[in-house]
Amino acid sequence: MTTGQVSGYVLKICREQTGQTQQRFAERCGVDITTMQSWESGRRPLAAMSAGSLAAIIRRLVAMGADPTTVALLDTAMQADSIISHALTAGGDDVRTHPLSQWVITRNVTHMIAWALNGQTPAALPQWPARRSGPVPNAPLLALDAQRAFFASVRSAAERAGAAGDAGALLARQCLYLSSYDMAGDTRAWIGSMSTYPLVKDHTEWSPSWVTARSVATSVTRHGQMDLLDRFIRDGLASDTGSAANLAYWAHWLGVDRLPRSGDEFMADSATTWDPSALLRALMDRLSPGLGCLALNVRSVWSLTLAHPWLLSDPTLGKAVGDRAELLLDCAELPATTRKELDQMHYGVRLYRR
């Protein structure tokens, strides 16, 4: 079973961007063609390479014309591979040793994992002119039995973590979220059985139940269940504390806050380690009709501009917010609260334009 499939596929994309064949690129790297094929197929994980050797390959890729944005995703892909590999090879280990109990993953890592499960290209991966010869896969998709094994593993980890209380809270919520990519008929019911919706109403401080509520509410929208998200927006984002924690979550999830996090507690920290304007730019593509979490996305942008009203005075950002608000107000069936928030942002943009 391959354990480096995602990073191997990203390496192949990078190599194709340089215009080099496997043979030619192997020669440039000082390895034989079999080694190059093993890297790209995932049979020989890039993570097993020495740090110096990997750094040399990365330098060669950039020097030979590979897109630096794609090359930078090699590390993200290796992180995804480490989680997939653990799920497919580890047994019922202690919840404290699971990689998902030791660090908070980002959207890019999550999308890389999902790429191996459903074939959907991650949003962060730029388009590339694919060079294909013969019947080769167009995604690092795991075999069906490996997909089933992955989902069985994360479900088992979530159940063990749930029984461990606060010590397993991070692992449980991250496994629950990854489980939502499983389109099996029992997934929604299983998530429901695992997560009695945490009460977040009237919380004055951040707690593990708050972030669990957010993850569960957003994950089940993938299966058509919207009521938990509505409840979370109403209750979990009713206070300044909840709104600030939500923005901190977004900043880490979208890679605006680049600091590695070993737990969710950073969301309760009042010190802002990220740039509000960078977060607003990153949230713009979340203001699109048809997204399952659109109401949460609008609330997040609204609370960000409320906390930092100067953002709307920026000509570029203000125009982007105004244009997105107009688009949604014109074409979407929106909850009354969401429509009100869009109206307020649109009005704020117009005030700064005068």
* End-to-end Cα separation, the chain, in angstroms: 62
Taking only the tens place, the pLDDT of each residue in 276-332 is: 999 999 999 999 998 999 999 999 999 999 999 999 999 999 999 999 999 999 987
Taking only the tens place, the pLDDT of each residue in 188-229 is: 989 988 866 555 555 556 788 899 899 999 999 999 999 999
Give the tokens for residue 238. 């009713």
Backbone conformation region of residue 103, classed left if phi is above 0, alpha if psi is from -120 to 50, else beta: beta
CA nearest to 285, candidates 250, 336, 331, 260:
250
Instruction: Determine the pLDDT at residue 223.
Output: 93
The confidence band for 273, taking pLDDT boundaries of 50, 70 and 90, is confident
CATH class of 1-69: mainly alpha
CA nearest to 155, candidates 182, 141, 176:
176
Beta strands in the chain (DSSP E): none
Instruction: Determine the pLDDT at residue 3.
Output: 81
Percent of the chain with pLDDT strictly greater than 70 = 92
48 within 8 A of 10, measured Cβ to Cβ: no
- Domain borders along the chain are 1-69, 90-126+143-270, 275-354
Instruction: Determine the pLDDT at residue 130.
Output: 56
pTM of the model: 0.92
Number of residues in the chain: 354
Instruction: Determine the pLDDT at residue 133.
Output: 54
The confidence band for 97, taking pLDDT boundaries of 50, 70 and 90, is confident
- Determine the Cα–Cα distance for residues 9 and 18; give it in Å rounded to an integer: 15
Task: Report the chain's mean pLDDT, rounded to a whole number.
Answer: 91
Give the tokens for residue 117. 């499960």
296 burial class (0-12, 13-18, 19+ CB within 10 angstroms)?
Answer: buried
Residue 26 has pLDDT above 90, yes or no: yes
